[in-house]
């Protein structure tokens, strides 16, 4: 071997230097995809790459169609974007028909069929397109109207040993997410409201929540409305338990609420017979306080049971 050549080892993250993503040309050259966001195009390419896992793991349905397991968190890591942007990109791909998501219910990962683009000279199925459009892009007539739309929850985590491809961007840059959320806030009011409504519903596992509380759908919808209103349009401080809390802090707290917090507030309202016409200020205070109150209550209960020898 010619001694004038020297070959070096890879070290640490250098092993990812020659890892490339292939983007299908039709996404870049076909006119019908011109308006598709770059995030959606990259996400579709990432999902195509994951299709290699289907054969390896035997993920085929009874019609021999391959599928993958894919969560919103996985999409965030794959394209290095914030949660609202990842959700929006998934919706774009689903509306176009490039993917089909099958929600399996609480605690189970979402199945995704990644489809290939085939140009045919036949009209699209208008009923199917109308159904998808109505489901995902229905505009609210007023901000206070209640939507009966039920979107199943996106599973937040699953076995990464079997379903994840190693990703050097797994830890999404928080400062980048913050700047991106400022871009989201620059949307027109309807788009802004739709984006954050989807975000809140994903966070609280809306579909599972209403399935477990069928008599409280209206109340849950009110909670979603209130949370989105504060996140999108809150400006003045809110009076919570006698303290003046800036709207941005209240909105930030609402972005962290999960299904357990909503269930806690629902149960609290039932115990105290809170009226269905409770003022918004009361619901805002209850939702904001649930994040800390629920954890403190469970901690006190645990300490009591441990001290009394019950556990």
Angle between the N-to-C axes of helices 83-96 and 189-204, in degrees from 0 to 180, rounded to the nearest 10: 100
Give CA–CA dist 165/74, Å, rounded.
10
For residue 188, the number of C-alpha atoms closer than 13 Å in the C-beta half-sphere is: 3
80, 169 in Cβ contact below 8 A?
A: yes
72, 84 in Cβ contact below 8 A?
A: no
Q: Where are the beta strands (DSSP E) in the chain?
A: 68-69, 99-102, 111-114, 238-240, 243-245
Give CA–CA dist 256/204, Å, rounded.
9
For residue 57, the number of C-alpha atoms closer than 13 Å in the C-beta half-sphere is: 18
For residue 177, the number of C-alpha atoms closer than 13 Å in the C-beta half-sphere is: 14
What residues does 68 pair with on adjacent strands? 112
Q: What is the pLDDT along the chain (311 residues), one digit of tens a residue?
A: 556 677 788 787 776 677 788 899 999 988 889 889 999 999 999 999 888 878 788 889 999 999 998 888 888 888 988 888 888 899 899 989 999 998 776 667 789 999 988 765 544 454 544 444 444 334 333 333 344 344 344 433 334 344 443 443 334 344 444 445 555 555 677 888 888 888 898 888 888 888 888 999 999 999 999 999 999 888 889 988 888 999 999 999 999 898 889 999 998 888 888 776 778 888 999 999 988 876 555 555 545 555 556 54
Summarize pLDDT for 85-127 with one digit per residue, the tens: 888 899 899 989 999 998 776 667 789 999 988 765 544 454 5
């Amino acid at each position: 071997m010619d001694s004038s050549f020297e070959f070096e080892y890879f070290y640490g993250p250098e092993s990812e230097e020659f890892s490339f993503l292939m983007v299908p040309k039709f996404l870049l050259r076909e006119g019908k995809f011109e308006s598709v966001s770059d995030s959606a195009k990259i996400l579709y390419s990432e999902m195509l790459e994951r299709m290699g896992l289907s054969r390896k793991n035997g993920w085929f349905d009874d019609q021999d169609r391959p599928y993958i397991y894919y969560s919103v968190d996985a999409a965030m890591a794959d394209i290095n974007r914030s949660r609202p942007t990842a959700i929006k990109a998934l919706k774009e791909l689903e509306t176009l028909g490039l993917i089909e998501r099958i929600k399996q219910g609480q605690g189970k990962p979402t199945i995704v069929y990644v489809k290939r683009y085939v140009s045919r000279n036949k009209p699209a199925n208008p009923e199917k397109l109308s159904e998808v459009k109505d489901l995902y892009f229905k505009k609210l007539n007023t901000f206070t109207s209640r939507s009966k739309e039920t979107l199943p929850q996106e599973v937040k985590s699953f076995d990464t040993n079997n379903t994840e491809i190693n990703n050097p961007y797994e830890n999404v840059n928080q400062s980048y997410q913050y700047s991106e959320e400022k871009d989201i806030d620059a949307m027109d009011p309807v788009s802004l409201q739709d984006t954050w409504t989807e975000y809140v519903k994903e966070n609280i596992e809306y579909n599972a929540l209403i399935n477990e509380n069928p008599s409280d759908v209206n109340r849950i919808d009110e909670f979603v409305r209130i949370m989105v209103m504060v996140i999108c349009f809150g400006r003045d401080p809110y009076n919570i338990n006698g303290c003046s809390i800036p709207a941005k802090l209240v909105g930030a707290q609402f972005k962290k609420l999960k299904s357990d917090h909503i269930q806690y507030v629902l149960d609290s309202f039932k115990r105290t017979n809170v009226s269905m016409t409770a003022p918004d200020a009361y619901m805002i205070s209850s939702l904001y306080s649930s994040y800390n109150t629920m954890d403190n209550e469970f901690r006190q209960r645990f300490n009591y049971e441990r001290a009394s020898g019950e556990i």
